[in-house]
Structure 1
Amino acid sequence: MLKKLIDEQASVKEIEKAIEDVHGYDLVQMFEELNDEEQKFILDNLSPERLADVLSYLDLDDAVEIFKELSIDEQKEVVDELEPDDAADIINELEDVEKTELIEQLDEKEDLIALMKYDENEAGSYMNSDVFTVHVEDDIKVATKKLIKEAPNYESIKTIFVIDESSKYLGQVPLKKLIRAKHPSLIKDIYEIEPTFKDHDKVDDLVKHMKHYGGYDIAIVNDENTLLGAITTDDILDIFKDEALEDFEKLTMLPDTDIEENVLKSAIHRLPWLIFLLFLSIPLAFLTSNFEEILSTVVILALFQPLILDTGGNVASQTLAVTLISFTNKEGASYKNGIKEIITGLISGLAMGILGFVATYIFASALSFESPLLMGLVIGLSLTLTIIISPVIGFMIPVFIKSIKKDPAVASGPFITTLIDIFSILIYFGLATLILGGLVHV
């Protein structure tokens, strides 16, 4: 619609009227269809309120880029329209000088400054400090009138937070329950007690809590139980997205997934991890060199080496994924899960070992290898032992990392796969030396 209006050379007033009731997300979708010149035209003519809508739904980097182009007065007007948590995210991305200059211009900056001090993995960094509150002794009618009068000033009013005279959090009242309440009743007669989180609690714990207890706005309090703000279900969706992206990056040993980053920066960011994985693979070269004699004599062993290595890595990665998923459950990953994975590996190992034995026997016979039966035995046993060991490693490593209070996602796929490769090489060439060594006079 926006593109069409610009193509038809609609006036600014016509465009303003057309997008007046368009949701912020839909407006961003229309905005992203425009070229740079058209985007600048729209941005120059948006009201501070609508511009704040656009910035809150854009990716943070894009929002900051647009925000930096505004004058200090325009930035102040937009910040006044943004939700405090969104404003804090954008301002935190500015240079120190720009940040200081803007904050000095703001009228109400205490809440904003407080939000900016939180670490990005703390609950306080995601909370909205603008929440609707009522006093525990308020009459239902008084609370309802207050809600009707002040509702336009809040992002969400589906949850009413209950406090005492000292602003201590006591509970909350769903909007539906307040509307249905009959006079004469007091807030203290209808409020519900829900779990809260401290402002410095880890976001991971909050996500796990929401998964088990369902969607409701979570009150965020300090150590004295004073209500500081709330995290809404919309915020929770953002947290889920951020956490999922972060875990994926850790699993693949990616430093970031910024698709807008230029090629050189992206290469520089990834290079340290690639070098780390390179050094991690050096033991494989040393191990393989120790079996040089058997490998040079029984060349066919090299043909099956990728099969052994890949199969073990695949099994370990599957177990790692199951273990990480189990950590999100209320009871976490138990040794019962580990035993189940090991038994699964045992069954899979036996089945794959038999298949590997048969396939290798047929293949070695077709190549007229001197002893296809012994070659099949090497491959079959190697597959069986590798697949049995792989789930043990895939389970124990993330459990150990979790036990030392670290993120188990750092037990990344490449890391575990390399570790499995080392064990697989030892098993494969060790068995080959043991079984085929006498045959070839090694």
Structure 2
Amino acid sequence: MEKLNKHKRHQYSKMVVDTLKNEKINEFRHTFLDLHPSDQLDIFISLNQDARAKVYSYLSPEEFANVFSGLDIREQKLYFLELAEEYSSTMFNYMFTDNVVTFLAEINTERADAILANMDKDKARHVKRLLSYAEETAGSIMTKELIRISSTEKVSNVLERLREEAPTAEIIYYLYVTNVNQELVGVVSLRDLIVASPEETIENIMSKKVISVEEDLDQEDVGHTIKKYDFLAVPVVSKENHLLGIITVDDIMDILEEEATEDFEELSATKGSTDIDLSGYETAKMRGPWIIALMFLGMLTAGVIGYFEETLEAVVLLSVFIPLIMDSAGNVGTQSLTVAVRGLALGNIKQGGFWRMIKRELTAGFLLGLVCMVSITVLISVIYGNWILAVIVGVSLLCTLTVSTVVGFIVPLIINKLKFDPAIASGPFITTVNDILGLVIYFSIATALMHLL
């Protein structure tokens, strides 16, 4: 099934719209169902409400389940309201369990209970089980649609089962082998199955070294496992090694994208407000707490300047370089913060490497400060003809950049040790803290050397 280019997608979109407008049911079904799922999704989203209503009547709940699964959660909640109750309940029966769980977790409990009551009993039971897991754990994002096989089965029997069960399984590239107690004991790839002799038993071709994740593992750690081993899917097991379900790479990619977005929002103090569909009021409401908190924190900066008022009055020229000190401190702090948060997210900052990383950032900050000190000292001496002032600003930059680099790196590590998301040490927060430190260093050195000016 070939994915359409932009020109062909436009042509097919026009064809679909025309068949809906003229109520040519068979022609619509032939054209629409022959498209790649991604193209079906793009075309469906572009339709107006009347056209979508016809799609619901022309497609069976099973056929529309694929389209609905591909929508993002905001679109799902919108289009769900257009579906008849019986139609939607049947549709959920044909969706993969993890996709149903994701949708139900985002709507109110009363409506979710009503949907579960109308679903197939076995399907609903699996969904309820997944909903009982804590959010953002392996158990909450796994799916139950997998193929289990026994180590005593013959290859020919498994291939025959595949023909029957593959359409309802989320992935068939890996087949997981369980014993009579439903414990995970091995894995067989589809390739191994195809090349093996039909009379061979699964026990003789399976790999007993199975990489799995426990049901309560954090979803980010699941993503790291799949990335590390280049898996298309990973099995989820209980503490007793019972096979509970699988997590596929496409679901993990969506989750890691969400996690990266959350980290970006935290780093920029815009948590929850990056959705472009939010109104100005909603955006301001989400950003407001951070801005107000930073405003009060910024008052400390004013307090520092006020504390050294006598120094400023004695040498007014010192005020010219305040923005330079503050900007430099904030910039290097944000750089180190980004390195720390990204390193923690990717697992690059290993246990025992803390002091090595601190040493690295301290060295980097010192060298950056040294270069800046030499440059600004020469520049100020030439422009203002005051080498004492040049030394004050230069040494202040050296100390500020050295300290700010370490602060920007160490704060998210401390927050991570306290079991909080290190990204909450946002860029604006680190910038404000380093502004204060930079000013204290600058005015302390200026006050100490003021008698030489």
User: Under a length normalisation based on structure 2, what TM-score does the superposition of the two structures give?
Assistant: 0.90
- The one-letter amino acid paired with 1:127 is M
Q: For residue 400 of structure 1, what is the aligned residue in structure 2?
A: 414
1:341 matched to 2:341? The reply is no
Q: For residue 413 of structure 1, what is the aligned residue in structure 2?
A: 427
> Alpha-carbon deviation of 1:410?
2.0
Number of residue pairs matched by the alignment: 433
Q: For residue 368 of structure 1, what is the aligned residue in structure 2?
A: none
From 418, 431, 435, the equivalent of 2:445 is 431
Q: For residue 369 of structure 1, what is the aligned residue in structure 2?
A: none
Output one character per residue of 1:163-190: Cα deviation in whole Å (capped at 9) or x when no partner. Answer: 1112111121111111111243211122
Q: Indicate the percent of aligned positions where both proteins have the same amino acid.
A: 31
From 165, 168, 183, the equivalent of 2:180 is 165
> Alpha-carbon deviation of 1:313?
1.3
From 147, 167, 170, the equivalent of 1:132 is 147
Output one character per residue of 1:258-304: Cα deviation in whole Å (capped at 9) or x when no partner. Answer: 22222222221221122222222221121111012222343322221
From 242, 245, 252, the equivalent of 1:236 is 252
Structure 2 SS opposite 1:162: strand
Q: Aligned partners of 2:442, 2:192: CA distance in 1, in Å? A: 67
Contact in 1 for aligned 2:388/2:452 (Cα 8 Å): no
From 180, 194, 219, the equivalent of 2:195 is 180
Output one character per residue of 1:361-385: Cα deviation in whole Å (capped at 9) or x when no partner. Answer: 23324xxxxxx21221111111111
Which runs of 5 or more residues in structure 1 are unaligned?
A: 366-371
- The one-letter amino acid paired with 1:49 is E
1:355 matched to 2:366? The reply is no
Contact in 2 for aligned 1:3/1:30 (Cα 8 Å): no
> Alpha-carbon deviation of 1:323?
2.2
Q: Aligned partners of 1:121, 1:276: CA distance in 2, in Å? A: 28
> Alpha-carbon deviation of 1:331?
5.7
Which runs of 5 or more residues in structure 2 are unaligned?
A: 1-11
Q: Aligned partners of 1:50, 1:436: CA distance in 2, in Å? A: 79
- The one-letter amino acid paired with 1:163 is T
Contact in 2 for aligned 1:3/1:34 (Cα 8 Å): no
> Alpha-carbon deviation of 1:2?
2.0
Deviates more, 1:220-229 or 1:30-39: 30-39
Contact in 2 for aligned 1:294/1:437 (Cα 8 Å): no
Structure 1 SS opposite 2:177: strand
Q: Aligned partners of 1:152, 1:212: CA distance in 2, in Å? A: 29
Q: Aligned partners of 1:46, 1:251: CA distance in 2, in Å? A: 44
Contact in 2 for aligned 1:251/1:412 (Cα 8 Å): yes
- The one-letter amino acid paired with 2:161 is K
Q: For residue 2 of structure 1, what is the aligned residue in structure 2?
A: 13
Q: Aligned partners of 2:33, 2:59: CA distance in 1, in Å? A: 10
Deviates more, 1:171-180 or 1:315-324: 315-324
1:115 matched to 2:130? The reply is yes
> For the structure 1 residues 126 and 436, does the alpha-carbon distance in structure 2 shift closer, same or farther, using more than 3 Å as the test?
same
Contact in 1 for aligned 2:415/2:422 (Cα 8 Å): yes
Contact in 2 for aligned 1:139/1:187 (Cα 8 Å): yes
Structure 1 SS opposite 2:293: helix
Q: For residue 100 of structure 2, what is the aligned residue in structure 1?
A: 87
Measured on the aligned residues, the alpha-carbon RMSD in Å equals 2.0
Q: Aligned partners of 1:407, 1:250: CA distance in 2, in Å? A: 9
Q: For residue 3 of structure 2, what is the aligned residue in structure 1?
A: none
Structure 2 SS opposite 1:194: coil
Q: Aligned partners of 2:18, 2:319: CA distance in 1, in Å? A: 64
- The one-letter amino acid paired with 1:414 is P
> For the structure 1 residues 362 and 35, does the alpha-carbon distance in structure 2 shift closer, same or farther, using more than 3 Å as the test?
farther
> Alpha-carbon deviation of 1:342?
1.4
- The one-letter amino acid paired with 1:408 is P
> Alpha-carbon deviation of 1:438?
5.2
Query: In the TM superposition, what are the counterparts of 1:29-178 in structure 2 within 5 Å?
Result: 29-107=42-120, 108=122, 109-178=124-193
Structure 2 SS opposite 1:94: coil
- The one-letter amino acid paired with 2:210 is E
Contact in 2 for aligned 1:312/1:387 (Cα 8 Å): yes
Q: For residue 204 of structure 1, what is the aligned residue in structure 2?
A: 220
> For the structure 1 residues 83 and 133, does the alpha-carbon distance in structure 2 shift closer, same or farther, using more than 3 Å as the test?
same
User: Under a length normalisation based on structure 1, what TM-score does the superposition of the two structures give?
Assistant: 0.92
Q: Aligned partners of 1:138, 1:147: CA distance in 2, in Å? A: 13
- The one-letter amino acid paired with 2:264 is F
Output one character per residue of 1:30-75: Cα deviation in whole Å (capped at 9) or x when no partner. Answer: 2233345444443454332332222211111111111132222011
1:283 matched to 2:300? The reply is yes
Contact in 1 for aligned 2:147/2:176 (Cα 8 Å): yes
- The one-letter amino acid paired with 1:150 is E
> For the structure 1 residues 299 and 27, does the alpha-carbon distance in structure 2 shift closer, same or farther, using more than 3 Å as the test?
farther
